[in-house]
Amino acid sequence: MTESTARDDTASASGGPEALAFDTGTPNSARMWNYWIGGKDNYAADRAAAEAVIAAFPVLPVIARHSRRFLVDVVQQLAADYGVRQFLDIGTGLPTADNTHEVAQRVAPDSRVLYVDNDPVVLAHARALLTSTPEGETDFIQADLRDTTAILAQAARTLDLSQPVAILLIAVLHFIGEQDDPYAIVARLMDAVPAGSYLAIAHAASDMGTPETQEGFRIYNQRSPVQLAPRSRRQIDRLVAGLDPVGLGVVPMSEWFGPGQIGVDGADLTGYYCLVRKP
């Protein structure tokens, strides 16, 4: 790893001893996701729950891995093709290969990355994320996506919100139910950043796939403490209303990478990817 320039204060990754307590005997959505993408930061309870979901929804690990691939691809594009140097990655998940700061700083060493997650399991692993090139900066805060006020207030320590920011909501908005108004959450985040900022979303879909897909979602919600709320293309379009499509804009995940790059029947990949820009 490169030299760390990350912060080391109690308001960021340390979070206090109580924040690090978690139950390894209860399935955890971040660790289940980590299992599906081939990671090692999971326990028997997570693996059992994850396998139960796979039994009903066998393609889910493929979806998880391609969502991670989408993150890498979109960060690479934003840094290399659009000159983005600031990234706000909300719903970080457990660290694995090619984290946001690693991808961005390979392209532009002066990139600044702020990770946000509310999961104490992720917080316990945050030190692995807190590395940076000497020219850039990486930080981590514990906050819930619903609490945009707290996120934006703390983001100002790492990011210059008067300059364009790429907000990354990869496989996190579908854990926000309609009762919590995900549309207002996205609007508040985008209102806080200037024109020329970007938004990338990966989101489970409710209007594609087979009956087995819906059964897989049902079993996931039985097994996971965090409920999944897939959405339709119409709802995804509502999330990004007023923002300009970039490249492919909003597409089914099977269309993002091009023909022959998915390796499974695209109809089984029940999700949407999008990249949009604030005009």
Residue ranges of domains in the chain? 10-23+59-209+231-277
Confidence of residue 15 (pLDDT cuts 50, 70, 90): very low
Is residue 69 within 8 A of residue 98, CB to CB? The reply is: no
Give the range among 51-60, 139-148, 151-160, 229-238 with minimum mean pLDDT.
51-60
Give the range among 34-38, 112-116, 174-178, 266-270 with minimum mean pLDDT.
266-270
Q: Which of 196, 194, 116 is nearest to 155 (CA)?
A: 116
pLDDT at 1: 32
Confidence check: pLDDT of 10 > 70: no
Q: What whole-number percentage of the chain has pLDDT above 70? A: 87
Q: Which residue has the higher pLDDT, 81 or 31?
A: 81
**Which sign does the torsion angle of CA 136, 133, 113, 270 carry?**
positive
Confidence of residue 264 (pLDDT cuts 50, 70, 90): low
109, exposed or middle or buried, with CB in 10 Å at 0-12, 13-18, 19+? middle
Question: In this structure, what token pair is assigned to residue 45?
Answer: 């309870």
Give the range among 14-28, 82-96, 165-179, 226-240 with minimum mean pLDDT.
14-28
Q: Which residue has the higher pLDDT, 115 or 22?
A: 115
- 112-125: average pLDDT: 88
Q: What is the CATH number of domain 10-23+59-209+231-277?
A: 3.40.50.150
- H/E stretch holding 11: none
Q: Which residue type, as a one-letter code, is found at position 81?
A: D
Is residue 161 within 8 A of residue 195, CB to CB? The reply is: no
pLDDT at 205: 92
How confident is the prediction for the chain on average, in pLDDT? 86
Q: Which of 193, 210, 182, 234 is nearest to 87 (CA)?
A: 193
Is residue 178 within 8 A of residue 230, CB to CB? The reply is: no
Confidence check: pLDDT of 17 > 80: no
10, exposed or middle or buried, with CB in 10 Å at 0-12, 13-18, 19+? exposed
pLDDT at 265: 55
Confidence check: pLDDT of 49 > 90: no
pLDDT at 95: 79
- 156-166: average pLDDT: 97
Helices (H) and strands (E) in the chain, counts: 11, 7
What gap in Å lies between CA 15 and CA 20, rounded to an integer? 8
pLDDT at 266: 54
What gap in Å lies between CA 48 and CA 27, rounded to an integer? 8
